[in-house]
Amino acid sequence: MAVISETVKPMNGYKLHVVKTEKYKTNTLVWKMKAPLEKSTVTLRSLLPHVLQSSSSSYPATGKLRAYLDELYGATLFVDLAKKGEYHVITISVEIANEKFLSDPTPLLKKAFQFLAEILTKPNVHEGAFDPDTVEKEKRTLKQRIQSVYDDKMRYSNYRLVQEMCKNEPYALHVHGEKEDVDSITPQSLYEYYQQALEQDELDLYVIGDVEEADAEAYAGELLTFEKRTPQAAPSSPVNTRESVNEVREEQDVKQGKLNIGYRTNVVYGDPEYYALQVFNGIFGGFSHSKLFLNVREKASLAYYVASRLESHKGLMMVMSGIDNNNYDQAVSIIKEQLEAMQNGDFTEQEMEQTKAVIKNQLLETVDTARGIVEVLYHNVVSGKEITLQTWMDEMDKVTKEEIAATAKKVSLDTVYFLTGKEAGK
Amino acid sequence: MEKITFDQLQEELYYEKLDNGLDVYILPKKGFNKTYATFTTKYGSIDNHFLPPGKEEFIKVPDGIAHFLEHKLFEKEDGDVFQQFSKQGASANAFTSFTRTAYLFSSTSNVELNLETLIDFVQDPYFTEKTVEKEKGIIGQEITMYDDNPDWRLYFGLIENMFKNHPVKIDIAGTIESISHITKDMLYECYETFYHPSNMLLFIVGPVDPDQIMSQVKDNQSKKDYKEMPEIKRQFEEEPPEAAEKKKVLEMNVQTSKCLVGIKSSTPNQSGKEMLINEMSLNVLLDILFGKSSEHYSTLYNEGLIDDTFSYDYTQEQGFGFAMVGGDTNDPDRLAETLQKMLLDSREKGAISQETLDRTKKKKIGAFLRAVNSPEYIANQFTRYAFNEMDLFDVVPTLESITLEDVENAAGNLISEDRFTVCQVVPKK
């Protein structure tokens, strides 16, 4: 039996993905809009879904719109933005109770489709412009959202690392856009961009739950129709090639230093070495049995958190840790030693098998949630590949020690970023 | 083994109290890959003043010791338990709250093996002076991390304002100073007091066979020799009803201010059905007042006083309770003032309509269905409810039964100016 059974149907202007499963008490619709990440559109795209979700032509006030969702047994409406490699992805999701588990048997699924269609295609627009009040309020909130990264030092240091490491690459852009570009957006310019996005973005609709495929197709076909398009591919961006490691130190009034280290993996999702890269990352710093956890935390007692994670579509690996301001040199050298150990094949069969088992477990757990299913499947849309979860796990099983060491050798240190407190010693 | 069926939700729950007093619950979930198990003791950061078994005198232990014990239980003579779980394809974790310490794993294979590991590692402490000292560096960094986190400081600052004596006001991890006094003997003393099976609950949810799992747990427990334990004696100082401090302002390295308004509960000694109705009524009340469909939310949002970090919550456990409302804001003083006025006004007759109540109840019922998609939610919340003598699966019937009078009563009991307090984080000048 397949781990996930996904059926994909081409519709007008988008693809419909249905995953039928009986394990949830709710049904979930996830709408994705993908376009290349660009300075000129990133802020518009960050604002757009927030304006769309706050009112529509039938529900011109947010309170009314939200009251309607409450009536539908607290259906949730949720918007989100993400960077996937050099793409900017808007997500709008609606989750609604399956009436099978309610004492009131009124069917709800079609209402969820109607609501999503309302939000997407019947916005609160007059004479070629979004409602000015709504746009003003959402601009204000967007500025606060962009600014809030500064107050969360863990997020801030990660954001700063990416900014320094990917300078002059689109990936350096903030996922919520640029604060200085918010003011110039008008209700007209946003509406123009909305039309452009619906014409040009790559669009996908995922339906997850105890849903008949034919019903999903009928509702989607009736309610959501767009023009055909050829989705734009992100231009291959110039990659910084460094002659020496880029070291950045920033001083702020913080008690704990934040050490964030960026590497280029030179491997992306869909490459033959991608599976070895996953196992490499797992042994190196992905889990609580990893080399980083054991050596930085358990042996040297330097940190509470230390981990590495991959950005699969951009080909980055990021190490993050919170350490005492005075322990910078020791932490950096331990982390460097662990990468060298990986490159020299200095890890056991057992570490490898353990890591494969844990990654497999993680994947299977991810697809126990509707959102997790969509995230796993959407990798294929971003990369233009067709890799099933089963293939993923089978290929990973075959990875050898030699392949892992060879992949580790492709990983190169790019930037070391340190956010340090003011009272730091030498 | 008892079987309890929930027809509307289409779930079955299996239960047995073992001879040594351990409560075991199993909820089979078809179609899921993952099995999730929690092994929880009714012991948290507030349990810092108690009578150890066989002793005559109450003792007070350093702040943060329950959390410290949680960390140290993972370390054994032959290495750490994380390693063993990952060899068996599982991921393990633990957390300490005000009233509970939970150990857990999730795995999609080797479920029986992992369950055995979970039970055995929690029931086999190994503390040495050396490993206790080493942990102080790690937990020290955990404490420093939270010190830099403005949301955490805001949350704890608010709780500190509310309580004069109750240990809920103590940070769960303690301070670098307080944990420096922890010794291996203290850890053993806490362990002997609170980790007896009769003070614990095991919950397993996933694609499992309940008969098989129950007999495995029974076999495991029958091999261990537990003496009968007298009831645990905890001591708490008298706590006045009003908030201890009216306001606190913390200057931090932030760009946006934050503000929370808190209300100390006047009914902290409830349990069972009474607590469930009160807790549900107050959660419904907060939703009516401040949910996204409320007039207040629109007013606050339109005036630019709140953004999408705005949230509200009511927490109650045996011995303490509080409500909190707020988030990031450009004008912390005006937000505090406006929220307090909105809360006070909600006590007036006719402030809440039947129609809004009905709509909010529907919303809450749907939210519960969404929540029970999650094995983590079921195991953790079921345990919390059980420790307070409530039943998680009573939530929907209780929600359906809540009347306007229930909500008005709960509001009348909770909302009073002398129990209000405010905490703010503002940018450093």
Do residues A274 and A202 both lie within one domain? no
pLDDT confidence band for A235 (50 / 70 / 90): confident
pLDDT at A1 over 80: no
Whole-number pLDDT of residue A424: 46
Do residues A254 and A133 both lie within one domain? no
Do residues A311 and A183 both lie within one domain? no
Do residues A251 and A218 both lie within one domain? no
Would you say the C-alpha torsion B381, B387, B390, B391 has a positive or negative sign?
A: positive
Whole-number pLDDT of residue A238: 67
Do residues A26 and A117 both lie within one domain? yes
User: CA A168, CA A336: separation in Å to the nearest integer?
Assistant: 26
**pLDDT tens digit string along A122-135?**
999 999 999 999 99
- Give me the mean pLDDT over the A43-67 stretch: 97
Residue A232 lies in a domain: no
CB-nearest partner of A147 from B134, B255, B367: B255
Residue A332 lies in a domain: yes
CB-nearest partner of A304 from B145, B256, B369: B145
Residue A230 lies in a domain: no
**pLDDT tens digit string along A329-370?**
999 999 999 999 999 999 999 999 999 999 999 999 999 999
Determine contact, residues B365/A73, Cβ cutoff 8 Å: yes
Whole-number pLDDT of residue A426: 37
Whole-number pLDDT of residue A242: 85
Of A172, A189, A223, the domain-final residue? A223
Is B70 noted as a catalytic residue in this protein?
yes
Residue A229 lies in a domain: no
**pLDDT tens digit string along A291-317?**
999 999 999 999 999 999 999 999 999
Chain B closest-CA separation from residue A261 CA (Å): 18
Residue A361 lies in a domain: yes
**pLDDT tens digit string along A10-36?**
999 999 999 999 999 999 999 999 999
Whole-number pLDDT of residue A60: 95
Do residues A64 and A200 both lie within one domain? yes
| Tally of domains in chain A | 2
- Give me the mean pLDDT over the B349-366 stretch: 94
pLDDT at A425 over 60: no
Query: Cβ of B34 and A256 within 8 Å?
Result: no
Residue A413 lies in a domain: yes
Say if the ipTM goes beyond 0.85: yes
Determine contact, residues B162/B152, Cβ cutoff 8 Å: no
pLDDT at B350 over 90: no
Do residues A215 and A288 both lie within one domain? no
Query: Cβ of B294 and A63 within 8 Å?
Result: yes
Pick from B363, B374, B401 the residue to mutate for testing the A interface (most A CBs within 10 Å). Answer: B363
Whole-number pLDDT of residue B79: 87
pLDDT confidence band for A143 (50 / 70 / 90): very high
What residues have CB less than 8 Å from B66, skipping those under 6 apart? B43, B44, B45, B47, B48, B96, B101, B172, B190
Residue A379 lies in a domain: yes
Identify the structural domains of chain B with CATH numbers, from first to last.
2-222 (3.30.830.10), 247-427 (3.30.830.10)
Determine contact, residues B287/B352, Cβ cutoff 8 Å: no
**Domain assignment of residue A258, given as a range:** 246-420
pLDDT at B149 over 70: yes
Do residues A299 and A217 both lie within one domain? no
**pLDDT tens digit string along B97-142?**
999 999 999 999 999 999 999 999 999 999 999 999 999 999 999 9
CATH number assigned to the domain comprising residue A37: 3.30.830.10
Q: Is A335 exposed, middle or buried (0-12, 13-18, 19+ CB in 10 A)?
A: buried
Determine contact, residues A313/A85, Cβ cutoff 8 Å: yes
Query: Cβ of A74 and B255 within 8 Å?
Result: no
Q: Which residues of A touch B374 (CB under 8 A)?
A: 369
A103 touches chain B (CB under 8 A): yes
Instruction: From the candidates B70, B75, B279, B408, give the one annotated as an active-site residue.
Output: B70
Residue A228 lies in a domain: no
Chain B closest-CA separation from residue A104 CA (Å): 10
Q: Give φ, ψ of B327 to 5 degrees.
A: 165, -160
Do residues A213 and A251 both lie within one domain? no
CB-nearest partner of B363 from A64, A73, A141: A73
